[in-house]
Structure 1
Amino acid sequence: MSRDTIQTYFDAFNAGDTPAMLDCLTEDVAHHVNEGQVRIGKEKFGDFCDHMSRCYAENLTDMVIFLSEDGTRAAAEYTVNGTYKATDAGLPEATGQTYKLPAGSFFSLQDGKISRVVTYYNLADWVRQVS
């Protein structure tokens, strides 16, 4: 079931379906943003998704999901294929640039839901691609 939760989460991401992503999370989910602060709770996660959807259009491909034997932890490696739609504060100006990045996510799972999400990508590589 945990593998299904992770797959459902990423399928919802690719569909741009934030409510379906939120359905995969515990109420007190800890969201560790790449080079950012930890956000606690579904509401803050949803706010983050809204912001990301405004600034970026992304699709994840080449997905490989890994699951611990006890089903409490998971990881995924993938390629982010994106378009920079609107300028994000503190980052280069958006003009519709496209980018392609290797990335990964780490998860804690609790009762079939995601209780922790950690995402990593190389920000310097992204900046180079959109500058």
Structure 2
Amino acid sequence: MSRATILAYYDAFNRGDIDGMLATLHDDFVHHVNEGSPRMGKQAFADFCRHMAETYSEQLTDMVIFVNEDGTRAAAEFTVNGTYLRNDPGLPEAREQKYVLPAGAFFTLRDGKITRVTTYYNLQDWIRQVSA
């Protein structure tokens, strides 16, 4: 179930289906990001996803998912293939720059739903790519 939940989460991400992503989340959800404060709850995460969809176009490839034996923890490694569409405050100017970035995420699951996502990537590498 846990592997299927993670696959469903990323399948929805690649389709741009925010509601599909939200369907994989537990009501007790927190999103820890690479930079910044955690987002508490599904609504905060939905707002973040809408902002991301307006600002970036991303597809995740080369997905590898690891799940522990009891299905309460998981990790994913993948490649982010993206286009920077609109200016994001505090970041370089958007000019539809392409980028390819290795990334990963860690998950906590309960009752077959995701309670935590922690995402990691190299922000300086992304800045270098979109500033070139």
Length-normalised TM-score, structure 1: 0.99
Partners in 1 of 2:115 and 2:102 — Cα distance? Answer: 23
* 1:4-54 deviation digits (Å, cap 9, x = unpaired): 000000000000000000000011211001111101100000000000001
2:43 counterpart residue number: 43
2:76 counterpart residue number: 76
SS in 1 for 2:49: helix
Partners in 1 of 2:27 and 2:91 — Cα distance? Answer: 31
2:93 counterpart residue number: 93
Partners in 1 of 2:39 and 2:80 — Cα distance? Answer: 22
1:5 counterpart residue number: 5
List structure 1 runs of 4+ shifted beyond 2 angstroms.
none
SS in 2 for 1:95: coil
Partners in 1 of 2:41 and 2:26 — Cα distance? Answer: 8
SS in 1 for 2:53: helix
2:28 counterpart residue number: 28
Partners in 2 of 1:61 and 1:74 — Cα distance? Answer: 18
Length-normalised TM-score, structure 2: 0.98
1:62 counterpart residue number: 62
Superposition CA RMSD, Å? 0.4
SS in 2 for 1:107: strand
Residues matched between the structures, number? 131
Letter in 2 for 1:32: H
> How high is the sequence identity, in percent, across the aligned residues?
66
Gaps in structure 1 of 5+ consecutive residues: none
Gaps in structure 2 of 5+ consecutive residues: none
